[in-house]
């Protein structure tokens, strides 16, 4: 299952390169997270999108002007990505704990360590 986490979003008062409205642009930074049965992991890639609510267009970087670039760099720093390390889900933890208990039990039985 893939979920999209919103990291940061900001409205801009720059002029839209398409319709020149100065109240329609919005930057959004998102990061995808893949969740399997036993673990969950955030993807390294951050997707960034500049969308204009006035003309309902996505503005691609090729059409950005210098001002937009500057604002972009500022907001990019605000978008803190989640750690990409693998985390166990609840089920994953239960299973890991089960395996751990099983191994301890095998060791105890194998070496016949008297419990307590
Ligand atoms: Zn526009």
Write out pLDDT tens, residues 77-114.
999 888 888 999 999 999 999 999 999 999 988 888 66
Q: What is the value of pTM for the model shown?
A: 0.74
Report CA(9)–ligand 1 centroid distance (Å).
17
Which residues hold their Cβ within 5 A of ligand 1, which is an ion? 16, 18-19, 24, 52, 54-55
Report CA(50)–ligand 1 centroid distance (Å).
10
Report CA(48)–ligand 1 centroid distance (Å).
17
User: Residue ranges of the domains in the chain?
Assistant: 2-85, 89-116
Cα–Cα distance measured from residue 115 to residue 20, given in angstroms and rounded to the nearest whole number: 77
What whole-number percentage of the chain has pLDDT above 70? 97
Q: Which residues, other chains included, contact 98 with Cβ-Cβ below 8 Å and sequence gap of 6+?
A: none
């Amino acid at each position: 299952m893939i979920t999209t986490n919103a990291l940061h979003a900001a409205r801009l008062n720059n002029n839209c390169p398409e319709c020149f409205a100065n109240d329609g642009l919005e930057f959004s930074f998102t990061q995808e997270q893949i969740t399997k049965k036993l673990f969950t992991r955030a993807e390294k890639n951050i997707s960034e999108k500049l969308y204009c609510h006035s003309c309902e267009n996505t503005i691609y970087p090729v059409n950005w002007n210098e001002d937009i670039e500057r604002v972009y760099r500022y907001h990019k720093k605000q978008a803190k990505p989640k750690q990409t390390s693998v985390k166990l889900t609840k089920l994953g933890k239960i299973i890991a704990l089960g395996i751990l208990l099983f191994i301890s039990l095998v060791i105890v039985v194998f070496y016949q360590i008297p419990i307590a």
